[in-house]
Chain A
């Protein structure tokens, strides 16, 4: 069966520091991969998606970037965090059809 792992689960970082959140999917090949952000009390916002290695599409302009160095690995990064980057970040995947499956999420607090 397919599983998705996302880490770290929680992170407290100072303003201006770098960020790296990592996500890996197991049990499937060539998935579409996604990064979402969920701000407190709000819905989900799609940040990035990828249909293959090295292929990244950005949905909103921001201080973050994404990379896909391997088929089942998706990384969310920032060179310098802002206070507004705080939130709950979710990695997700899908293969055929349109059902998306989510990871457990990563809480980022920028202080």
Chain B
């Protein structure tokens, strides 16, 4: 069984300051991990993914995440927040290599607020 916990339902930062969105997971196997971003009334866009290669993963829009197996974490960071980063962020885990069902477990999301 697998699970995902996004530790903060809301995060508020000032424009230009660092962003940290926290995610912890549990998985019976070697997981793949994803971060998706959802802007209001839009679909989910893939930010980045970890699939057992480099533990520090760089994504789009300046975001990156580090896979830490010992801490079972996959936190999302960005050095300097931009107003356009305001959105909902989902951490997702998969421990299935493929198959029919999506094999995904979604976190409940973190709402990122950017203060001017």
Residues of A within 8 A of B (CB): 6, 32, 34, 42-44, 46, 49, 51, 57, 59, 88, 90, 92, 94, 96-105, 107
Q: Is the CB of B100 within 8 A of A98?
A: no
B residues within 8 A CB of A104?
Answer: 42-43
Number of interface residues of B (CB under 8 A): 25
State A12–B70 Cα separation when bound (angstroms).
48
For the A-B complex, the count of residue pairs with Cβ-Cβ distances under 8 Å equals 58
Q: Mark B68-92, 1 if CB is under 8 A from A, else 0.
A: 0000000000000000000000100
The yes or no answer to B94 lying at the interface (CB within 8 A) is: yes
Residues of B within 8 A of A (CB): 32, 34, 36, 41-46, 49, 51, 90, 94, 96-98, 100-104, 106-109
Q: Is the CB of A100 within 8 A of B42?
A: no
Q: Mind listing 23 A-B residue pairs with CB under 8 Å?
A: A42-B108, A43-B90, A43-B108, A44-B44, A44-B90, A49-B100, A49-B101, A49-B102, A57-B100, A94-B102, A97-B51, A97-B97, A98-B32, A98-B98, A98-B104, A99-B46, A99-B49, A102-B36, A102-B43, A102-B45, A103-B43, A104-B43, A105-B41
